[in-house]
């Protein structure tokens, strides 16, 4: 019992120190990740505002092309039906 009480305090101090060190290292890593992300954006490699706009423009163009193709196909079918009738 006596040895248990003697070792308890140093073990708690070591655990507390380990937790503090781990938290400090985690904060450093998170901060470096944020800095890297900011440098990437400031260099113009990825602008989050332009990406969705570019994608949406491509989507609209793609959908418009599909609608135009369907209209052309329908027009051809009408012409073929009118020729055969």
63-82 per-position pLDDT tens digit? 999 999 999 999 999 988 88
pLDDT tens sequence across 35-62? 666 655 554 555 555 667 777 888 888 9
Q: How far apart (Å, rounded) are the C-alpha atoms in residues 42 and 48?
A: 11
Write down the pTM of the prediction.
0.37
Q: Quick one: the chain helix, strand, coil %, rounded to 5?
A: 90, 0, 10
* Angstrom distances, CA of residue 23 to CA of 9, 13, 19, 43: 21, 15, 6, 30
46 Cβ neighbours under 8 A, 6+ residues apart: 40
Continuous segment of H or E residues that includes residue 56? helix 50-84
């Amino acid at each position: 019992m006596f040895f248990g009480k003697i070792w308890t305090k140093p073990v708690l101090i070591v655990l507390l120190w380990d937790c503090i060190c781990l938290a400090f290292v985690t904060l450093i890593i998170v901060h470096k990740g944020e800095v890297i992300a900011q440098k990437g954006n400031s260099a113009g490699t990825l602008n989050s505002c332009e990406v969705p706009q570019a994608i949406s423009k491509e989507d609209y163009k793609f959908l418009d092309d599909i609608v135009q193709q369907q209209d052309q196909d329908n027009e051809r079918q009408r012409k073929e039906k009118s020729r055969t009738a």
